[in-house]
A and B are shown apart, each in its own frame.
Chain A
Amino acid sequence: MNLWKRLMCTARRKSPWLFHMNSGSCNGCDIEIIAALSPRYDAEQLGVLLQGSPRHADILVVTGPVTNKAVNAVKTVYDQVCGPKAVVAIGSCPATTNVFIDSRTLDGPLDKHLPVDVYVPGCPPRPDAIIAGVVKAAVLLAERGSDAPKPAIVIAGTAAEEVQP
């Protein structure tokens, strides 16, 4: 089955399908994600497609610091993405809540709820940086193989490390 496994790893690397989730962002990062699909950067040259349903996607692309109202939505959508999956945090907000640090309306950075694989810093990050982040997540997916996907994390305060050997 080695040939099939290698074929599957190549396929996962070459065909990363995204689902974009906005957990309270200012929309700056969302606009840059759409710009990454525009003719100048064209994420489709790497096989990246923006899908309409979380069940169709491999990579969950999240923007925004996680507001209180968005926490359950983010966890539900993460559970709906079928494995193997990866999470990319676009912008500084999901990584560290950026300028909204210690705000009453937020519920922590994203890795308090989900295992994040790749962080793309920037406010907003440039579209080529977003594509680089998605490519890195696709490579991680290819290496991850067919492990069982992790459920959404409910422990508060821990920063989950998601670097698989």
Chain B
Amino acid sequence: MNPMLTALARLLIFPGLLFAVPAAWFFLWVERKAVALMQERVGPPFMQPFWDFVKLLGKSTPPRPGIAGFIMRAWPLIAVGSAAGAVGLLPVLPASGGFEGDLILLLALLELPSICIIAAGFSSRSIFGEIGSAREAALSVSYNIVFLLAIVSIAASQRTFRLEALAAMHPTFLTVLGIVAILICLPAKLHINPFSLPNAEQEIYSGPMTEYAGPELAMWELAHGLEWVAATGLVATLIAPHIALAWGTSLLAGFIFVVLSVAVVLLLSVLAAATARLAIDSSVRFYWQCTLIFAVLAISSALFVRFWL
């Protein structure tokens, strides 16, 4: 098939926008409902993220004299586009295409929403936005080092940067360590407790998003949901040796992929319900002092395994 057409189909249909957007709403609902049930509340009904999205599309945007409105409105669209692209790269079905080095592209696309949030906070010229963006930037620098070192150590130990090959790998001690490190970085990436400071409501009036309203806010919420899908999908890719399932059809493998992603969502919800929000210095200190040493150990042992064994 024409590779351009396959790429477009993966971006827009499966697992691209057409499937990723309902998946994003589903994952957002799972997180909210799980946190609510653990807090003895009944939580939102099933269609709630969908209704939130539709309602936000119908609100008006305020006039913003003196601000570069075009750039400010572009950031949420870039965030949605890159998060959707990241979801489109996931190998949900085995042997579904992909190319050498698509792990690197996935990481880059996963990074873009955070950068868009930081840029959006500054471009909205609101003081709360600036403070939120500064906090998000500090957090982003801290967890990204651990995140990237963990992924690079897994890829180096398997000698490949191709997502499908990583999906088929058999777990060794090193890869398990790397997956645990990635899971520790996910709460900071997805802005949930205990690292939810950039989005804190009562602290800084919802941070970088303070000045956004209406359809722009709908795009931010959608980007957030797509980030959930992409990040949990990445972990599910690394956990599931789905190609090694000799007895599975490709549909079953896709189903198992989704189930694993939901399991990661539930795990993160338990963490979110059990912890409180850490201040920015505690969050940064956690990533620099506690996890960095393990990430450095992982990457050095991976390089050792790669080059000397």
Contact = CB atoms under 8 A, between A and B. Distances in A.
Name the 10 nearest CB pairs between A and B, nearest first. Answer: A52-B206, A52-B201, A11-B54, A11-B55, A55-B213, A14-B51, A39-B40, A82-B213, A42-B41, A39-B41
B62 A80 contact: yes
Interface stretch (B42-50, B94-102, B174-182, B260-268): B42-50
A15 B48 contact: yes
Nearest to B220: A56
Interface stretch (A43-51, A95-103, A119-127): A43-51
9 contacts: A44-B42, A45-B41, A45-B44, A50-B201, A52-B205, A53-B209, A55-B210, A56-B212, A82-B214
A82 B61 CA distance: 6
Interface in A28-68: 39, 42, 44-45, 47, 50-53, 55-56, 58
Interface residues of B, number: 36
A10 B58 CA distance: 11
Interface in B18-57: 32, 36, 39-45, 47-48, 51-52, 54-55, 57
B265 to A, nearest CB: 18
Interface of B: 32, 36, 39-45, 47-48, 51-52, 54-55, 57-62, 128, 200-202, 204-207, 209-214, 217
Nearest to A55: B213
Contact of B217 (A10, A56, A80, A149): A56
Contact of A7 (B44, B54, B209): B54
B59 to A, nearest CB: 5
A8 B202 contact: no
Contacts of B209: 53, 56
B111 to A, nearest CB: 25
